[in-house]
Amino acid sequence: MMPNIWPFRRARPVVSVLRMAGVISPAGRPFRGALSLPALATSIEHAFAMRGVRAVALAINSPGGSPVQSALIARRVRVLARENDLPVFAFIEDVAASGGYWLACAADEIFADRSSIVGSIGVVSAGFGFADAIKKLGVERRLHTQGRYKAILDPFRPEDADEVQRLSIIQKDIHEAFKDHVRDRRGKRLKGDDAALFEGEIWTGGQARALGLIDGLGDMRTILRERFGDKVRLRPVAPPRRWFRQRLGLGLGLGGLAGADSGDLIAGLLDAVEARALWARYGF
């Protein structure tokens, strides 16, 4: 009689699932809960090191944010994909716009829902001008600098055309880096000239597929079963518990803010307003 060798049967294929949801922003503020390389580094490492992993899936839902953090996260994904010789799939949920699409391009293949919002390949800088407001209030602005552009675009001074031009030069350089990343990752799959693809326009998933910005329509489970069989196991990567939440008892609701000082509270509320404005830009 043949011995029972069930422990040695071929294991079911595993795909690790790394969730990237939220505004992309530099780390450092405890209320942000945003995407940054410091916040994601451990999870990214775990996704590629998971036992028996055959591929890594990125579940993306982001309206964008910091171009630097977008580039750093995408670069880390690509480095580990090459080192481990693993394919990477991106699955866009509601939106992958601006930096969110930058992240999606770290994948070898990108999928979305037909109604997902995709694109916004451009650069934006927004702010307010308070020069007239403080004048009406009788407030005198006192600002002393060394360096012509040290206080560039200060919101309490009238806008300066030369400073705006300097900002435009910076934005153009960042925009070129974004375009180079998309061209490098999407290559000949792109359909359309620069005017059609790189002027900050957004599209639905169906339109994005026609332009070659994504590879197909479908949800994660269906696509990965088609690629790896019905027995594929989708294994979410658990995010590391945040030290400050454990120590301060901060929850997801406003009740968790009780342990924070007023400065952090104000910063957190401002961050929430900023994040809400980014989502609202795409109807969410």
> Do the domain assignments include residue 208?
yes
| pLDDT at res. 195 | 86
Structure pTM?
A: 0.79
Cα–Cα distance, 27 to 73 (Å, whole number): 12
pLDDT bracket for residue 268 (50, 70, 90): low
Cα 266 from chain centre: 24
pLDDT at 123: 79
Cβ atoms within 10 A of the Cβ of 110, count? 29
Average confidence score pLDDT of the chain: 81
Q: Is residue 262 among the annotated active site residues?
A: no
Say which of 36, 98, 116, 120 is annotated catalytic.
98
Q: What is the pLDDT of residues 142-198, one digit of tens each?
A: 667 777 767 666 776 777 777 777 877 888 899 999 999 999 999 999 998 888 899
At residue 128 the predicted structure's pLDDT band, cuts being 50, 70 and 90, is: low
Q: Give Dmax (Cα) for the chain.
A: 97
Q: Determine, yes or no, domain membership for 269.
A: yes
Determine the 3-state secondary structure of 119 from DSSP: strand
- Between 281 and 223, the higher pLDDT residue: 223
Domain region containing 241: 12-120+201-280
Query: For 201-255, what is each residue's pLDDT tens digit?
Result: 999 999 999 999 999 999 999 999 999 999 999 999 987 665 444 444 444 333 3
Does residue 192 belong to any structural domain of this protein?
Answer: no
**Phi/psi at 149 (nearest 5 deg)?**
-110, 20
Amino acid at 170: I
In which band, very low, low, confident or very high, does the pLDDT at 30 lie, cut at 50, 70 and 90? very low
Per-residue pLDDT, 38: 93
The helix or strand, by DSSP H or E, that contains position 63, with its residue range, turns out to be none
Q: In sequence order, what are the beta bridge partners of 20?
A: 60
Which residue is it, tokens 């009689």?
1
Residue 40 class from Cβ within 10 Å (0-12 exposed, 13-18 middle, 19+ buried)?
buried
Q: What is the pLDDT of residue 217?
A: 97
The span from the first CA to the last CA of the chain, in angstroms, equals 63
pLDDT at 234: 97
126 within some domain:
no
Phi, psi for residue 79 in degrees, rounded to 5: -60, -45
Q: How many CB atoms lie within 10 A of CB 153?
A: 15
pLDDT at residue 133 in the model: 74
- pLDDT band of 1, cuts 50, 70, 90: very low
In a domain, 180, yes or no: no
pLDDT at 34 over 80: yes
Cβ–Cβ < 8 Å for 14, 54: yes
Catalytic residue among 115, 135, 150, 191: 150
pLDDT of residue 228: 96
The Cα 111–Cα 91 span in angstroms is 5
Q: What is the pLDDT of residue 236?
A: 96
| Residue 83, token pair as written in the block | 């080192």
The predicted pLDDT at position 165 comes to: 78
Total tally of structural domains belonging to the chain: 1
DSSP β-ladder status, 202-204 and 117-119 = antiparallel
Q: Indicate the pLDDT class of residue 9, thresholds 50, 70 and 90.
A: very low
Residue 214's nearest CA partner among 222, 223, 206 is 206
Structure tokens at 100: 């969110």
Per the domain annotation, does 251 fall within a domain? yes
pLDDT tens for 84-126 read 999 999 999 999 999 999 999 999 999 999 999 999 898 776 6
| 200-211: burial string, b at 16+ Cβ within 10 Å, e else | eebbbbeebbeb
pLDDT tens track for 42-80: 999 999 999 999 999 999 999 999 999 999 999 999 999
Q: Which two tokens stand for residue 92?
A: 């866009």
CATH code where residue 19 lies: 3.90.226.10
Torsions phi, psi for 232 (to 5 deg)? -60, 140
What average pLDDT does the segment 250-276 reach? 49
Q: Is 150 a catalytic residue?
A: yes
In a domain, 188, yes or no: no
- What pLDDT is recorded for position 207? 96
Residue 261 covered by a domain? yes
